[in-house]
């Protein structure tokens, strides 16, 4: 049957064209990890966060666009693949963003954003009942941020940094207005699945970073011990999110009425998952550094990357869950605080001690939450 509408005829799961699109953006995460590891200073970290925001916002905006779209429609597929190609050029140009070749980053970034906004408006206009004000105004306000990003490309750092920071403010303003709308066309299961896939692919990329480094080193007992410990921590990070919390976030979003849906999707997913993925980057930076010197005491900033990474990934998930389900995970916060404190105590020891402390803290979180009424997916009280 010939498809005439760009809007999906019924709720869809994530399709392969979306996953293909996501893979390119996670490659950009790897580039940000490498950039951060090579400039592990306050200025370098700030630049990485600034750059990653632009990348993240391009991805999350396209996620909103494709959520109601018929991704089996050839036009939607072609447009998404064009955006994927542009995102690939953008990702390969991450290291050029603060240099003279900045346009290799900015131009494809703008292409991705414009394609996403245009498709989003086009899909929304297919609704029979006039309900377009929120999406149209959101798209219009988003163009302001794009203009600011383009303007920043024509000035040198550090002025470029401040101009792009202003662009983030414009993005947040647009998101703040758009989230107030009561007519967002969102499929909660699809929306949650896209974010979950991004998280799991990013976690996988953190291990690929470690594996790439290990492949270039001489194998030793110390190296393999550190790699196994890092793998254990990565698996435990996975469990703290996918063990039950991801499904709870989805249920919270699905339970939201029309008046709250846009704000909840914006806060618990589009905004909260940004620092959450930053946590994965911090963990990946630590792993990339220690595999080169597995028996040496890491520098203070490297240990700080581990603490910040775990703190952001595990801690920001608490905010996302509170925002979606109105319940605060106090034990998780307490254990996380103790774990970060213990990590500071062993910061002068070898990486194996530091990863061991983090692993013990994460195991405690997983075990306590598994025994807490309402946290088990088999416990009906969770949905009460």
Residue 382 reports pLDDT greater than 60: no
Residue 357 reports pLDDT greater than 80: yes
Q: Are residues 52 and 107 in the same domain?
A: yes
CA–CA dist 148, 115 (Å, integer): 18
Q: Are residues 168 and 204 in the same domain?
A: no
Residue 378 reports pLDDT greater than 60: no
CA–CA dist 62, 261 (Å, integer): 18
3-state DSSP call for residue 69? strand
Q: Are residues 150 and 217 in the same domain?
A: no
Span between the terminal Cα atoms of the chain, in Å: 42
- pLDDT recorded at residue 330: 95
The 10s digit of each residue's pLDDT in 11-68 is 788 999 999 999 999 889 989 999 999 999 999 999 999 999 999 999 999 999 999 9
Residue 230 reports pLDDT greater than 50: yes
- pLDDT recorded at residue 13: 87
Q: Are residues 68 and 153 in the same domain?
A: yes
Q: Are residues 125 and 239 in the same domain?
A: no
Task: Count the helices and strands in the chain (H runs, E runs).
Answer: 14, 0
Q: Are residues 315 and 353 in the same domain?
A: yes
In a domain, 123, yes or no: yes
Q: Which structural domain, as residue segments, surrounds residue 116?
A: 16-178
Beta-ladder partners of 7: 69
In a domain, 205, yes or no: yes
Structural contact between residues 305 and 282, judged by C-beta atoms closer than 8 angstroms: yes
3-state DSSP call for residue 127? coil
154, 178, 202 - which closes a domain: 178
Nearest partner of 140 among 117, 123, 124, 163, judged by Cα = 117
Q: Are residues 96 and 195 in the same domain?
A: no
Q: Are residues 344 and 260 in the same domain?
A: yes
Q: Are residues 307 and 356 in the same domain?
A: yes
Q: Are residues 84 and 230 in the same domain?
A: no
Q: Are residues 254 and 354 in the same domain?
A: yes
Structural contact between residues 206 and 30, judged by C-beta atoms closer than 8 angstroms: no
Domain count for the chain, please give it: 2
Torsion angle defined by CA atoms of residues 228, 231, 233 and 237, in that order, rounded to the nearest 10 degrees:
-170
Q: Are residues 293 and 364 in the same domain?
A: yes
């Amino acid at each position: 049957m010939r498809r005439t509408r760009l809007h999906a005829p019924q709720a869809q799961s994530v399709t392969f064209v979306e996953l293909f699109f996501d893979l390119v953006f996670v490659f950009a995460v790897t580039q940000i990890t490498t950039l951060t590891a090579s400039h592990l200073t306050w200025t370098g970290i700030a630049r990485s966060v600034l750059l990653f925001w632009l990348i993240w916002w391009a991805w999350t905006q396209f996620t909103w666009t494709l959520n109601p779209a018929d991704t089996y429609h050839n036009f939607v597929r072609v447009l998404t693949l064009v955006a994927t190609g542009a995102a690939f050029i953008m990702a390969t140009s991450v290291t050029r963003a603060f240099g003279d070749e900045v346009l290799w980053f900015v131009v494809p970034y703008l292409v991705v954003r414009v394609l996403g906004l245009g498709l989003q408006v086009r899909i929304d206009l297919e609704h029979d009942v006039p309900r377009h004000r929120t999406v149209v105004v959101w798209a219009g306000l988003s163009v302001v941020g794009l203009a600011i990003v383009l303007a920043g490309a024509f000035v040198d750092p550090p002025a470029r940094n401040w101009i792009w920071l202003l662009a983030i403010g414009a993005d947040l303003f647009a998101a703040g207005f758009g989230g107030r709308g009561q007519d967002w066309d969102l499929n909660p299961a699809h929306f949650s699945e896209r974010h979950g896939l991004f998280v799991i692919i990013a976690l996988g990329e953190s291990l690929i970073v470690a594996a790439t480094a290990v492949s270039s080193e001489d194998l030793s007992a110390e190296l393999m011990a550190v790699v196994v410990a890092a793998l254990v921590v990565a698996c435990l990070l996975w469990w703290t999110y996918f063990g039950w919390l991801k499904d709870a976030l989805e249920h919270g979003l699905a339970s939201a009425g029309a008046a709250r849906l846009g704000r909840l999707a914006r806060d618990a997913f589009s905004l909260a998952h940004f620092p959450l993925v930053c946590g994965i980057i911090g963990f990946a930076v630590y792993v990339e550094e220690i595999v080169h010197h597995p028996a040496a005491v890491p520098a203070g900033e490297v240990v700080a990357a581990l603490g910040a990474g775990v703190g952001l990934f595990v801690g920001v998930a608490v905010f996302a869950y509170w925002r979606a389900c109105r319940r605060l995970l106090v034990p998780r916060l307490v254990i996380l605080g103790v774990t970060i404190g213990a990590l500071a105590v062993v910061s002068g020891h070898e990486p194996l001690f530091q990863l061991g402390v983090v692993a013990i803290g994460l195991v405690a979180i997983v075990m306590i939450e598994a025994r807490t009424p309402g946290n088990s997916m088999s416990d009906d009280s969770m949905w009460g």
